[in-house]
A and B are shown apart, each in its own frame.
Chain A
Amino acid sequence: MNKLMVESINEYMDEIIERWTTRMKEEKGERFFHFMPDHLVDKTSREFAELMTSNIRETSSIDSDKINEFTEKIVRFGWAIKFVNKAIDNFSNVVFELLEEKDVITDENLRRFIVLFSSWINPLRESIIDAYSTEWERTVSLQKIALQELSASLIPVFEKISVMPLVGTIDTERAKLIMENLLEGVVSQRAEVVLLDITGVPVVDTMVAHHIIQAADAVRLVGAKCMLVGIRPEIAQTIVALGINLNEFTTKSTLQRGMQAALGMTNREIVEVNGQ
């Protein structure tokens, strides 16, 4: 029975792939099959078919390496999980229809084939979807790490003056990192003035303001001054409307002005020299 099915599938493989590709092209909102070069579509289809038929034989179990490799590829191609599921459905339907047409599946053995099909497709679907979601989780956690690496480094600009540019949304986790890096940096760089640049922070709500105020207080405790720069006009207005008190802060509109002020606070200034 199994043997019969494997042999028939192998025999009609080209036709199966062709029908499957046609059907996948008809799927709504599908971009892969329309915009990819033909040879790539063909290659991917073949790989998919091979993967699909790899576990039909009773002796061979699901090859997880192969599945992982393939899902990694389709995640990169941007196949949605819904689409992957549809691909599996279509494949099993196409195979079933074809075997019926070729009289491999007849009225007598229909029941047995149905059982065979579900024991073939279901574990396969499970492992493919499992591999797919694992791949996504990996991507997300990698991006999280990448995001953390982006967070907040304190850069020494002049002697006694350091800058921390803040870019992006500040959540609780990042706020903690900012605080740690700021304090460690101030001590190790012997900074006397620290400029916090919030040009790249999209929204300053009470939570963000609270974290900034706390960070500034902590900086004061280790003996340095904290200056807030890069306050865009719309941010200034929302800060006022929220009623956040930043009176104890020195604030400047841009990093440039902040830097001039910081030099002034450490008794220095930038002087133009006459070039010869």
Chain B
Amino acid sequence: MNLGSSVEIITEWDIVAARQLGRNEAKQVGFGTVDQARITTAISELARNIYLYAGKGKIEIERISEAGLVGIKIIASDEGPGIPDLRKVMEDGFTTSGGLGAGMPGVKRLMDEFKVISEVGEGTTIITTKWLH
């Protein structure tokens, strides 16, 4: 089963649209308020990264089910500059934009599964999943 929808991230307000979509999907899958907040915040971080670093990209939200478990999968993809040092990006407090540097490691902690595919000059794709327990 694959039910999906996506939001193009071009302006700052698209971040709001993306997380609104995420919140609705999460609610329909059956996540509680705390997990809804986690998923929405994760989408917010990923979408903001797209807006800040790549300029434009896409957030896709899919409902997934596997081996009796249901969950939600978020795919954030862009064709931006890519991430030169993945290990550094996952360190708490590392930032190139003067922010808190908590976004990427934070998303990893907010979600259950987290995968980054990035190539310098080609773009970045982040796939992250949260299962309903």
- The judgment on whether A and B are partners is yes
Judge whether B58 is part of the interface by a CB distance below 8 angstroms: no
CB distance from A216 to the nearest CB of B (A): 13
Complex CA gap A242/B110 in Å reads 7
Do A237 and B37 form a contact, CB below 8 Å, given A205-B44, A206-B45, A243-B109?
Answer: yes
Contact with A along B65-102 (1 / 0, CB 8 A): 00000000000000000000000000010000001101
Contact with A along B42-55 (1 / 0, CB 8 A): 00110010000000
> How many B residues touch the partner, as a band?
20 to 34
Residues of A200-241 contacting chain B, CB below 8 A: 202-207, 209-210, 213, 233-235, 237-238, 241
The DSSP consensus for interface residues of chain B is helix
Judge whether B34 is part of the interface by a CB distance below 8 angstroms: yes
CB distance from A78 to the nearest CB of B (A): 21
Judge whether A171 is part of the interface by a CB distance below 8 angstroms: yes
Complex CA gap A158/B85 in Å reads 51
CB distance from B69 to the nearest CB of A (A): 21
> How many A residues touch the partner, as a band?
20 to 34
Complex CA gap A206/B101 in Å reads 8
A-B contacts besides A205-B45, A234-B36, A243-B92, 18 pairs, CB < 8 Å = A172-B12, A202-B40, A203-B44, A204-B41, A205-B41, A205-B103, A206-B45, A206-B48, A206-B99, A206-B103, A207-B99, A209-B100, A241-B38, A241-B109, A241-B110, A242-B102, A242-B106, A243-B109
Contact with B along A167-191 (1 / 0, CB 8 A): 0010110000000000000000000
Do A203 and B41 form a contact, CB below 8 Å, given A169-B16, A238-B110?
Answer: yes
Judge whether A244 is part of the interface by a CB distance below 8 angstroms: yes
- B12 to A241, Cβ gap below 8 A? no
Residues of B13-47 contacting chain A, CB below 8 A: 13, 16, 19, 33-34, 36-38, 40-41, 44-45
CB distance from B93 to the nearest CB of A (A): 9
Binding site for B on A (CB under 8 A): 169, 171-172, 202-207, 209-210, 213, 233-235, 237-238, 241-244
> What are 5 inter-chain pairs, A to B, with CB distance below 8 A?
A203-B19, A210-B100, A234-B37, A237-B38, A241-B106
- A171 to B41, Cβ gap below 8 A? no
Judge whether B105 is part of the interface by a CB distance below 8 angstroms: yes
Which B residues are in CB contact (< 8 Å) with A171? 12-13, 16
Which A residues are in CB contact (< 8 Å) with B103? 205-206, 242
Do A210 and B99 form a contact, CB below 8 Å, given A241-B109, A243-B109?
Answer: yes
Binding site for A on B (CB under 8 A): 12-13, 16, 19, 33-34, 36-38, 40-41, 44-45, 48, 92, 99-100, 102-103, 105-106, 109-110
Contact partner of B37 among A172, A203, A207, CB < 8 A? A203
Which B residues are in CB contact (< 8 Å) with A233? 34
Which B residues are in CB contact (< 8 Å) with A169? 16
Complex CA gap A209/B95 in Å reads 15
CB distance from B32 to the nearest CB of A (A): 9
Complex CA gap A234/B106 in Å reads 15
Which A residues are in CB contact (< 8 Å) with B102? 206, 209, 242-244
CB distance from A12 to the nearest CB of B (A): 47
- B41 to A244, Cβ gap below 8 A? no
